[in-house]
Amino acid sequence: MAPAVAVIGAQWGDEAKGKIVHFLSREADFCVRFNGGPNAGHTVVDGYGEARLHQIPAGALHPQCLGVLAHGMVLDPWALQEEFSALKAQGRPEPKIFISERIHLILPYHRLREEKEGMADKLGTTRKGVGPAYMDRVGRRGLRLLDLGNEEYLREKVYSEGQYLGKIEPETIIADLLHFRREFENRVGDAQVLLAQALSAGKRVVFEGAQGTMLDVDFGTYPYVTSSTTTVHGIPVGAGVWPEFSAVIGVAKAYATRVGAGPFPTEDHTGLGEKLREAGREYGATTGRPRRCGWLDLVALRYAQKVNGFTHLALTKLDVLSGFSEIRVAVAYRVRGRRVEEFPAAPWELAQAEPVYEVLPGWKRGIQGVRDFEDLPREAKEYVRFVEEALSVPVALIGTGREAEALIVSWEPWS
Ligand code: GDP
Ligand code: IMO
Ligand code: MG
């Protein structure tokens, strides 16, 4: 089998995909982002400190791993340069990246449009211009990275945003973009060909999903979603390759969070949600917004499993549950008095869904940094087994802390 591994958010984003991707990329040749853009915030905590990655693939923190920004992403060139600077300021070696020439660009007027059209307030978006840039792509009026090679076309595009010209300085934008093109010239090209060749040569490739299944533009809680395909289906579309995956890993927190608007059946308003937020430091890596918190939702997770066909689960942030006397898990919903086992596609049904909880015993002892499953308290082991059985998917990785090494690994990724 081709050594390709997909890492996909199984919930509403921020499942700790960054940490899992970083772990899997220790021995990988390529790490590929295929969807989203600077709306993503993937955190890795290692010897250099806390890296917050937005557009640079998390695997590229390893010197041997080439980070690929495939055409399914939307790229903010200014934000990318800032990201490089932030990593450099931590004393890290410069990550090696390669960007698809077909990638669509986010320009300053995309952010203005996101505000003006009310998307930011109504949906609680990340205000990074991601939605409007994807809209321009399907509207067939976007600007791609390769278009920077045609200065006349570039000028025409930027000046065509007449209504925003009072707020943006077109000549500065054009000059910045031309500078970006020169600076990154050797790191831009046909990423599809690169990946297709890498896969046929048997190279190890990690695909790094951004956002999560419930934020997928088709499979998520539409319209409270992002504008890209965040599920495993985004890989062929967004990277242009269709590998036979040796693993499709669904990343799920041991509880649930959501940032921004939209239905979230297991959100807790009793004070325990707040306790989870503090224990899990649940504040957005991109926007700093407090995340809404609640319990693990097996209805949503079973749905994510069906959509993506996960072969393995990574259950992250298990340490955050230490100290809770009871742990709730939603095993079904009640909608207008009726028990529902399947995740409803209609938002009005989802908005009425009341979780049916099963209550599991908690554990007191802290488990931060535990690396051996046998060292977990009995109740924590039982919790993991409960999730495994409910989904019929093995839990291959368990997160026990923020640090890169705080991970229980019961699986050999590249064997
Ligand atoms: P991503 O977007 O899926 O990559 O996740 P984020 O980086 O946005 O959010 C995950 C947060 O949890 C980050 O602050 C991580 O440093 C932190 N984190 C990751 N794994 C663990 C874990 O196992 N335990 C704890 N306590 N924190 C973790
Ligand atoms: P990572 O990759 C969590 C949410 C926003 C908003 C909706 C649409 O770190 O898991 P957008 O700016 O994409 O148009 O916003 O999607 N959202 C995320 N939530 N994690 C993310 O990324 C997210 N990216 C977007 O909060 O509700
Ligand atoms: Mg995040």
271-298 residue pLDDT tens: 999 999 999 999 987 788 899 999 999 9
Q: Is 150 a member of any domain?
A: yes
Q: Which two tokens stand for residue 228?
A: 């890209």
| DSSP notation for 220-270 | SSTTSS-SS--STTHHHHHHS----EEEEEEEEESSEEE-SSS--TTB--S
| 351 and 340 together in one domain | yes
**pLDDT at site 2:** 65
When pLDDT is cut at 50, 70 and 90, the band that residue 163 belongs to is confident
Q: How far apart are CA 159 and CA 161, in angstroms?
A: 5
Nearest alpha carbon, ligand 1 atom 16: 402
* Whether residues 51 and 97 fall in one domain: yes
Nearest Cα neighbor of 121 from 224, 211, 36, 21 is 224
Please check whether residues 11 and 125 belong to one and the same domain. no
Same domain flag for 110 and 95 = no
Residue 114 lies in a domain: yes
Question: Does 414 reside within a domain?
Answer: no
Does residue 288 or residue 218 have the better pLDDT?
Answer: 218
Give the domain-ending residue among 187, 212, 227: 187
Average pLDDT rounded to a whole number, residues 368-372: 98
Query: Does the structure show a pLDDT above 60 at 56?
Result: yes
List all residues 6 or more positions away from 340 whose beta carbon is below 8 Å from its beta carbon.
Answer: 299, 332, 333, 334, 349, 353
Q: What is the pLDDT of residue 166?
A: 78
> Which residue out of 317, 321, 383, 409 has the highest number of ligand 1 atoms within 8 Å of its CB and is therefore the one to mutate?
317
Q: Looking at residue 286, what is its pLDDT? A: 79
pLDDT digits (tens, 9 = 90+) for 324-352: 999 999 999 999 999 999 999 998 999 99
Report the distance separating Cα 257 and Cα 295, nearest Å.
Answer: 8
Choose the residue to mutate in 126, 208, 221 for probing ligand 2, maximizing ligand atoms within 8 Å of C-beta.
126
Q: Is there a single domain that holds both residue 315 and residue 385?
A: yes
The mean pLDDT of the chain is 96
Q: Are residues 231 and 306 in the same domain?
A: yes
Give me the phi and psi of 10, to 5 degrees please. Answer: -95, -5
Atom of ligand 2 nearest to the CA of 289: 26
Give, rounded to a whole angstrom, the gap between the first and last alpha carbons of the chain: 10
Residues 228 and 260 in one domain: yes
Give 404's contacts (C-beta < 8 A, 6+ positions apart). 19, 22, 23, 44, 45, 46
Is the pLDDT at 162 greater than 80? The verdict is no
Residue list, ligand 1 pocket, CB within 6 Å:
9, 13-19, 41-43, 45, 280-281, 285, 316-317, 319-320, 399-402, 406
**Does a cis peptide bond (omega within 30 degrees of 0) precede residue 265?**
no
- pLDDT per residue over 89-115, tens digit each? 999 999 999 999 999 999 999 999 999
Give the pLDDT score at 404.
98
Q: State yes or no: pLDDT of 354 exceeds 70.
A: yes
**For residue 17, what pLDDT is reported?**
98
Residues 136 and 280 in one domain: no
Do 211 and 171 belong to one domain? no
Residue 415 lies in a domain: no
Q: By residue range, what is the domain housing residue 215?
A: 3-101+190-409
Q: What's the whole-number mean pLDDT along residues 210-221?
A: 98
- pLDDT band at 383, cuts 50/70/90? very high
DSSP conformation letters of 263-274: --TTB--SSHHH
Task: List the shell of residues around ion ligand 3, using CB closer than 5 Å.
Answer: 14, 41, 285
Distance 330 CA to ligand 1 centre (A): 22
Mutate to test the pocket of ligand 2, among 128, 137, 213, 215 (most ligand atoms within 8 A of CB): 215
Q: Which of 69, 65, 43 is nearest to 55 (CA)?
A: 69
Closest ligand by atom to 15 CA: 1
Average pLDDT, integer, range 184-192: 98
Model confidence, pTM:
0.98
Tokens 């242009």 found at? 240
Q: Tell me, yes or no, whether 289 and 262 share the same domain.
A: yes
- CATH at 307: 3.90.170.10
Hunting for tokens 């599920």 — which residue is that?
231
Number of domains in the chain: 2
In a domain, 295, yes or no: yes
Write out residues with Cβ below 6 Å of ligand 2.
Answer: 9, 13-14, 39-42, 123-126, 128, 130-131, 210-212, 215, 226-227, 259-260, 285
CATH number of the domain residue 121 falls in: 1.10.300.10
Ligand nearest to the CA of 20: 1
Same domain, 282 and 295: yes
Reading the block at residue 41, the tokens are 């915030």
